[in-house]
Structure 1
């Protein structure tokens, strides 16, 4: 993999509202990270959906709210553009992902100009268990203790109180609660000293 995608710009089309947020920008950057490009290309060589190996990193980096359907759709849209830039074209769409993951389905790719390729079912419970076990990174645990009640419900005013504590004043009231949490989360991750959450 020799492609330098640092300058590749995302064309958001129907995802402009999310793409222009901090979350959207961070997701695009995350997908172009060299390790993730290797993951997507390796999955492609193994005839797996390109998004599949990204799931654990996405949940660890952005929290369980990354399972929001629209966010996942945008990730798939972004991945399609990244894969095209690396010289791949769509092989199969909506391929069921047969292991516990953030994604229920994804697109497989093949080298541009090559012919099509020739195809276990994961339950919702297995997928939910996978997300639950993966979401508990040190940062997410630290933030969730401050912004969720005892039932796990996200308390938006507490989220914004934590944000203000670290100098984040912008609000995302036009987005759903999970998307608000992710946008604040990606900014906090840059501002909070890891010692604050790695010691908890």
Structure 2
């Protein structure tokens, strides 16, 4: 039996437990909102009906929305933790944990919330190189290309001074020095998406 996707999760609050440091950042708040969007609820339930990890269909949207830094291990762990709470609110319980994801994706494994009576599916191994290639091909949304050209050097390394210079240009004063560089970039990116006129980066598509 499917859950009712019309369930209003707008008031559902995330209980961060060991992820409080990330959950209280702008990135954490935006990730929680992202996961509760109706289109992503549909993706998670569809994956569940197909006996796949609930996080799997979220990967492309996460990379496009938050950039390649969303591949940070701790961020991915928090996403999995958030997904578990969203699925619980929809009436699901975890079935299998650490299920290998068999297609190039942001995630190497995830939890399934398989419906009773469904059959396990055969899995195949995806190499690290295939996964990295998928991330690179998926991260190139217009916004990410626009931002990366301003904050990365010639070899692709993130330069934090450039990142905060762009942030300052758009009135962002807050710093995230307690986070790693990738997490800093995602938090700044979350705020820039709200402030930058899409016309400034649409030409990068």
Query: Structure 2 length normalisation: TM-score?
Result: 0.94
Structure 1 gaps, min length 5: none
Correspondence for 2:132: 128
Kindly state the Cα deviation for residue 92 of structure 1 after the two structures are TM-superposed. 0.3
| Number of residue pairs the alignment of both structures matches | 198
Residues 91 and 116 in structure 1, CA contact (< 8 A), matched pair in contact too: no
Of 144, 157, 168, which aligns to 2:172? 168
Residues 51 and 120 in structure 2, CA contact (< 8 A), matched pair in contact too: no
Structure 2 gaps, min length 5: none
Correspondence for 2:193: 189
Partners of 2:179 and 2:119 in 1: CA distance = 39
Residues 99 and 122 in structure 1, CA contact (< 8 A), matched pair in contact too: yes
Residues 91 and 117 in structure 1, CA contact (< 8 A), matched pair in contact too: no
Residues 51 and 118 in structure 2, CA contact (< 8 A), matched pair in contact too: no
Instruction: Give the match's secondary structure for 1:89.
Output: coil
Correspondence for 1:13: 17
Correspondence for 2:57: 53
Kindly state the Cα deviation for residue 199 of structure 1 after the two structures are TM-superposed. 1.7
Kindly state the Cα deviation for residue 110 of structure 1 after the two structures are TM-superposed. 3.4
Runs (4 or more) in structure 1 with deviation over 4 Å come to: 114-117
Deviations 1:163-194 (Å, cap 9, x if unpaired)?
00001000000000000000000000010000
Of 92, 96, 102, which aligns to 1:92? 96
Partners of 1:133 and 1:189 in 2: CA distance = 20
Map 1:65-76 → 2, pairs under 5 A: 65-76=69-80
* RMSD between aligned residues: 1.1
Partners of 2:119 and 2:103 in 1: CA distance = 20
The answer on 1:105 being equivalent to 2:90 is: no
Kindly state the Cα deviation for residue 77 of structure 1 after the two structures are TM-superposed. 0.2
Partners of 1:55 and 1:138 in 2: CA distance = 17
Partners of 2:36 and 2:119 in 1: CA distance = 26
